[in-house]
Amino acid sequence: MYNRRKFIKLSAAGASLAALSPSKFVQAAATAPAAQLPIVISTWDFGVFANKEAWKTLEKGGRALDAVEAGVRIPEADMKNHTVGRAGYPDRDGHVSLDACIMDEFGNCGSVAAIEHIAHPISVARLVMEKTPHVMLVGEGATQFAVEQGFKYEELLTPESEKAWKEWLKTAKYSPVMNIENKQHTPGNKYNHDTIGMLAIDAKGNISGACTTSGMAFKLHGRVGDSPIIGAGLYVDNEVGGATSTGVGEEVIRNVGSFLVVELMRQGLSPEDACKEAVKRIIKKKPDTAKNIQVGFLAINKKGEYGAFAIQPGFSFAVCNAEKQDLLVPGKSFY
Q: Is 123 in the site for ligand ASP (CB under 6 A)?
A: no
Q: How far apart are the first and last CA of the chain?
A: 20
Site for ligand ASP in 141-160 (CB under 6 A): none
In whole angstroms, what is the distance from residue 10 CA to residue 59 CA?
A: 17
Shortest Å, Cβ 277 to ligand ASP: 19
**What separation in angstroms does the CA of 112 have from each of 245, 270, 281?**
17, 31, 27
Which of residues 62 and 233 has its CB atom nearest to ligand ASP in the complex?
A: 233
Site string for ligand ASP, 179-218 (x = CB under 6 A): --------------xxx-----------------x-xx--
Which of residues 143 and 192 has its CB atom nearest to ligand ASP in the complex?
A: 192
Shortest Å, Cβ 138 to ligand ASP: 14
In whole angstroms, what is the distance from residue 113 CA to residue 162 CA?
A: 21
Furthest C-alpha separation in the chain: 53
Among residues 181, 101, 169, the alpha carbon closest in space to that of 135 is found at: 101
Q: Is 304 in the site for ligand ASP (CB under 6 A)?
A: no
Shortest Å, Cβ 3 to ligand ASP: 23
Do residues 180 and 172 lie in contact, with contact meaning Cβ atoms separated by under 8 Å? Answer: yes
Exactly one of 247, 304, 307, 330 binds ligand ASP (CB under 6 A); that residue is 247
Q: Is 246 in the site for ligand ASP (CB under 6 A)?
A: yes
Q: How many chain residues touch ligand ASP (CB under 6 A)?
A: 13
In whole angstroms, what is the distance from residue 234 CA to residue 103 CA?
A: 8
Helix (H) or strand (E) holding 182, with range, is helix 180-185
Q: Reduce the DSSP state of residue 19 to 3 states and report it.
A: helix
Which of residues 37 and 142 has its CB atom nearest to ligand ASP in the complex?
A: 142
Q: Which positions are annotated as active-site residues?
A: 195
Residues found near ligand ASP in the complex (CB under 6 A): 193-195, 213, 215-216, 225-227, 246-249
